[in-house]
A and B are shown apart, each in its own frame.
Chain A
């Protein structure tokens, strides 16, 4: 077959290159705008594997006791469901990949998807790209610039991880496989973000779609790894792009071909995104904007009604997603029924769990621990809405009516608080439901609802902090995110990072009793609840007194 260029191909090439015009300009602009976003993410994520590897000998001793611990970890369904398949925990590389590799892959996916949306739809929605597109910039230039930057950031992450793991003396092939796996996971979800950015005219919806994809991928692999050995459900893991990096088995007989999966999917998603973008108008989603009601319903007469109308969809989706997650994870708990039959394994687990009498309780504690932090992050994104209302000038419009500052604050924060706190309790209930149904013990449901409720003061504290920051020091808006982000890292991988215990305890979640594994402790629950109320009140007090700009 010859490679002669026909006039038709040449024409397409011309169009193609014309649509790429200005990609370098866009890339420069995007780098300048988003350098902190990518820089922070890459720096934090690339630290986790080397820190874990460096602390390996402190976590797992090089003797029979160490072997005992790793065997216990590998057999523990809770740990598997949370982290991924353990291939070989007796060497640094394999342990690091299992303990933080999957977690870093999951966060790299989140970083890449949100980063691409940030530079494309989130710029297009308020009309900032229009100005750029009016210049000598082709139709796809912003998308390509965003994707190139995302790939570059993922490559940097992969490279730093590979290099630092090499420097720590782990085998070269494994180090490269690990870095490459992270790179390709990120690239795949950059494609997911690029596609999500085309679907809806709203950046918020695009983020929702992308995060739902990340969440679904995590859920699929959690079910696969949490299922009993030999269960057909274990194959579900292959459907999860956040699992492929682990399936490539870095350090444990690398299966390089697995990495073709994310490479191909990344390419396909990129092509799809470009095609979708070619077929839509600037500023529009895939579906033409539909007209809505020409009059407001009788109830639409206050800031509260406005906030409810704006948020109810997203709140509903969030609750639905969390419910599905909790119910699915809850249904994994039957694994423990079979494990408990093996007295040797059961004894090993008992020594490992957070002092839990029952393996199942340890599993519930771990799941609730993850869910409450994720719920706090979601709650923060709703409180964030308040800041966006002010930044866009829509808060000013509402405040020019007889709406008071406090009423506006309440309108946007009370639903966020209600759904977060209620959602946490609901998650506890749904987590317990499968086991309760199986064992005919409805008391389980109440027990886990209580366990989740005991963690809710920390959610309220994080959201209260966000309100306080909004009212008193709006510039420190990253503070609540840092608290919640740190809590997420601690609850997921904190124990293996070799950090001092006081640092690991320095999250609002860690201070609360972890029911049902620990006894109820009223002091931290009441103290954090009171602090949350005080912070909220301070925020409202400050917001009523500061300039609205």
Chain B
């Protein structure tokens, strides 16, 4: 299992090479450069040339990429073209906000989806099942920003229960963004829970459990759920990964200073070091998260534990 994890970690390196090169090319192809953004009103051609030279933008793409990678190997993500601040520091500054939002929204999503999917599966075909599925469909169909706006209009402006944006109110300011971002996941996780539970509910070992006197609640919550968990973990992990890149819409609606907004702002100002740095960091974090998800399988299913162990040896 240890060796398996090491192998997976090593695989992050080529991924970073590919991702960073792609971003460099994309930023180069995009119309305009940081110079256009930074140049003051009425700057002369000469001023622009000088600015371009200062930022190193007069060098060819591959040279810039090579310089960037050299810095990266030394552990530096470079300096922002725009704010002239260290990219790593800026990223780490925004990261906790995104982590908090991602964690909270996945908790909201799982908190709703798991019971809903289980009820749906246990009462397969009943009214409860249909209601749950309609609810899931609604969650999937409603655009994030719209849900966010509704929540702001009714719960924030209307009832005044929560702040409408920013993150000065601690936990209270986290609730609406978390619900907003979580709603979309709720649908997917509910449906996954339902189908995974349906697969498990017909299994012989549940009958064995009932035959020894286990009560129905425990049969469902312990014996069935633990067997149904793997697809649920997979889908939740992937959703969480997507969240870590920052959810631009939710962060924008709630003025949430997270990674998503950082990246969008940086793209607008053609701040290549900031964009590349943020995405490289996100890549690393998401890779680690997916590795953690894979290792979590082994915790849940002893058969996979055995398989990882034998892979490690081989």
Do these two chains really belong together in a complex?
A: no
* Chain B residues engaging chain A, CB cutoff 8 angstroms: none
* Chain A residues engaging chain B, CB cutoff 8 angstroms: none
